[in-house]
Every structure is written in structure tokens, then in C-alpha cells.
Structure 1
């Protein structure tokens, strides 16, 4: 029997790419999502998952469900026998988290507590958690390895990821039969090479590359570059960008790690290479063959100058390494944007 994996928030950008990789690796993903970051498609399925079905030529099990709804979670776990959970569901906009901290703590923390309690009640003790490099705060040294101090987060979104990591670590310490892999993502970009699924921000993009792609496709007039006075080669912020398909494959490697009764393990998922905002703009100009207009504005609160990973531990212990470089990330992003100028929506 193929193993069933519960994927919370599986209709979102990273979740949908992981669902695709799960299906291709022979698992049976069961997806829950509340449509907070997803567009509704045909047959009450999220449009992203409808397209995943087309790519993998098999149906994807889906239920509309909010992880803060305990009764609905209990019912779901009674219906399916899960071998593990991949937990992506949560609010994720840094700027919005500063304006609505309570909402972020309510959804991200309470939702995760309900999920863990339900897992415990039904004897499911394996979880892969979607964490973030934001838990490191302002880097004390670079590249960032997993031993770097955490918790000095610059916004409630990052703090919610840090608190969830702590909850899961404490749980694994208290109950030895739990296994968890906490994956700290750097900056996922790109799209599946089919061009059928990709990042579709609702409203104004919070992340750099969707914004750059929307300028290239003509949806937005210019890019605002927040600050060019950082201590970097060209003065703009430097980040570690990772192809979303590489990231998704990291989750498959994490699932295999759980099988070793690994306890609680933490891994960076990044490439180890940092690129500046202006380097990313140039790479996207190359991929799209179009000029990308930008204006320099003031620094954005909470941004750090440079942030990139030391991904050696994931390679050593998970056998995982990012395979795709910057050109491939930008080419795949551009194909997605060109084929879907307004994202998953039809207008």
C-alpha cells in the first residue's frame, strides 16, 4: 500500500510543488487548504491542484479545511491513515504580520497546536515542518548554518515559525516516539518546468521575483528596490534563492529521514550562493529578453543586508543538494509568467 501523506496548505506555491513531487515519488498526498492563498478551480478543487492532476495523470485527494478547526481535523484523521504530515498551512506575509500580529499567532500557532494534538490522538508521530530562514534574524555570521542562534526574529511571521519550531522540539524531547524534520527555507523562486504551476501572489507581491516577473510581463510599471546603501557589492540586499522544485525534492528527502526514527532534525534548504536584487533583475532580463524598469527607494523595515545558507548538513544527512542554478530558476519563472500573465485566475 502506498503511504498517505497529509499536506496542510497544499494548494499554495510550495505546497502544490511538493504535492506533485509526492505523487511522482509514489506517495498518496491528501491535501487540505482553506483557499486563503489559493484560487478556486473546477470541481471545487484549487486551480493549482487541478493542474497538478494534469501533470501527474492521477487524481489528487483534496478537502477544504482550516487547520484551526479541530473538529474537522479529527474527522479527517478518522477517515485516513496517514504515515506522516507535511505542514505548510499558515499566514506568511512579513509586512502584514507586523500590522496583524494576533492574527498571525492565532492562525500559525493555534493551528499548529490543533494539528499536533490531532496527530497525537490518532497515533501519527511524523511531521515535516515548513520553517524559514527568518528564524535566524539578523545574521551574526555568514553563511548561516543550523547552529547559528535563532529567535532574534525581526517580525511576527518569523517569530511564529520560531515558536512552532520550539513547540515541535519540546514535543520530540518529551515524547521519544515523535520524529520531526524542520526545514528552514531560504528564498524559493521559479516554477515547475511545464509552466502550469507557479507562484501566484494575491494582490501586490511581497517577494522580489514575482514582482520582477510581473514588471517583465507588463502587469506592473516598475520595481521598487528597497535600499541601495547596504554593505554589499552593489548596495542592494543579497539573498539565497532556491528553485521551488529543488525545495520540493528536499521534502521527499525529509520524509525518508523520518523513517530512521530521527527524533527532531533541522536543515537549511538553500543553494549557498547569495545574489543581490540588481543581479536578480539582470538575470530576469536575460531570461525574458525584456527590460525591467526599477526605482531605488528607502530601506524596508526588518530587511537585512545579506542572508545565505550553508546547506552542507542537508547534503550530508539527507543526501539532498540543490540542482538548479539561477538561469534555470529565471527561465522557469518566466515560462510560468508568460503562460499565466494573471496567475491562476482567468481575468
Structure 2
């Protein structure tokens, strides 16, 4: 493709608006041509200052707008499946924020639809695969110089949970990132999950089991533990340490910038995911646009989204029952091999 890629962005909330800005300002070879959101005023606000962009309240209207070559889905989770299938029906490449769909059964429908096409059109937005620290961690592990990985320790903390956030969502929404990261870093599937719930924080909303401790076992015998705490009250932190036979490698432990004033020196902690992963999102969208221009699809796939949903559902069952839940990894379709 010699001209700029015309992108329709579905969803103009915080994530969608940030992607509109990203495509317009920091992504060479792409332009926003349509934005859809049920709140037309919010969509107009997200596109302020951008020429030749149309606003729709109906996602399908945005997909059919003139000049649309590709679709970025940043709408609420429950709208992802319909939007992706509509893009497939039009032969449009898609970058979809995670999750792929609301559960493994729905995600499998997306996989089946893409298999019928006979080619990959979807890249799933597991942005940690585009983060410079995670990329370096994977490089170290894949080099073999530290020996085989034995354990991976993960921390995932948020300042506070949004309204309506449930105990199950600590795993299905938050820990979903660690599920994909572990599979990607280790090149192994998860075969068992245990989820433990300590006494809840006094700052967690009533009825929310927060924090939680989730333990994954991989087919090769690696243990991956995740502390997820979505009402930490102080900042957004994502950390990962891989312990190998001959050493360990850690990311995310570096403190934030130091602010000096008459009151003293204070280290700042990011308050949400956007500043922490801003560079990863930029890198991800630029890579996706380059793929669209080249007529290919790379990155996390619909199959990765389906597998993450399967593991997350097992984690939710483990947390509910207090028992270890085993999984049999499904056979990977030829369309999604080899794994990236």
C-alpha cells in the first residue's frame, strides 16, 4: 500500500481517544478517517483538530465509511466480538484491544471465523509484547545464557478498581496480561492454575476479593506466580522476574522519576497503565500499521486470545473453589503456527 492507511477507531473512551491521538500524531503512514462511539460528542472531542474524519454512533457505519483500510477496536469488552466479525466480513485488518471476546466460547467463534477466511487479519492488543523491557526479558530468556527458566514472579498493581469490577475480573481482565506474557516469554502452555485469596484489603470495595495470588504451572514445569492487587491505593506497578538455572532477570523494578523541591526529593509512581506502557502502545500501533501496509499480520493472534481466555476461566474456577484446576492445551490450528 503506497498511501496512508485509513483507520476506523471504534470506541472514543480513554483508550480509544488515546489511539486516535497516537495514529494522528505519532504513527507514520496512517490517518484516522472514522471514529465510532455511542456518545457522538465524545467522538467529536477525540477527533478535534483532525481533518477529514467522520464520526458515527454506529460501529458498522464507521467500518463502511469511505477510505477505511483497517480497524482499531477500543470499545467495551462486550462489543469486541461483533466488531471483529464485522471487520472480517469486510476483509479489513484489525487491531483489537484485549480481551478478544467475553470468554473462551466467544473467542473460539472469532478463531473459527478467521480460519474460514484462510488468513490472519487480527492482531490482539497484548501490548506487553511490544514493551522494550519485556522484549529484552524475552531476548535474555531465549538466548539460553542463564539456563532454563524455573520460576517467574509477577506483580500487577493498580491504584483503584473501576466501578463494577468483580473478583473474577482480577483474573479474567488484569491477570490476562500475565497469562499471555508467560506463554510468550516461555514458549510453553499453561496446564494448571491455583488461585489463592488472602483476606481482602480494607480499601477494596465491599465484596471484592482483592488482592489475589495466582499460580500457573506450564507444560515444561515452570511455575509462574502473580500477585494482583487492584486497589493498592498508591500507584500502578507491573514487575516481572524470571529465575533461571544460572541467574535471574528482572524488569519493572526501576523507580519513577525523582521530583526535587523545597519539601525534599520524592520518587513518583505512575498512577495508571497509560504512562507506564505509552511507548509499548506506540510501538504496537506502528508495527500494526507497517503490517497492514505490507499485507501481513503478526503479533498476538486470535488463538492467543482464545488460549488466554481458557486459562483465565480456569483461574476464576480455581479462585472460586480453592482447588487446583488442570487444563489440556487445545491443538493449535495450522493458521496460527508457528507461534510468535
TM-score by length of 1: 0.42
* Bigger-Rg structure (1/2): 2
TM-score, length-normalised on structure 2?
Answer: 0.43
Q: Tell me which protein shows more strand as a share of its residues.
A: 2
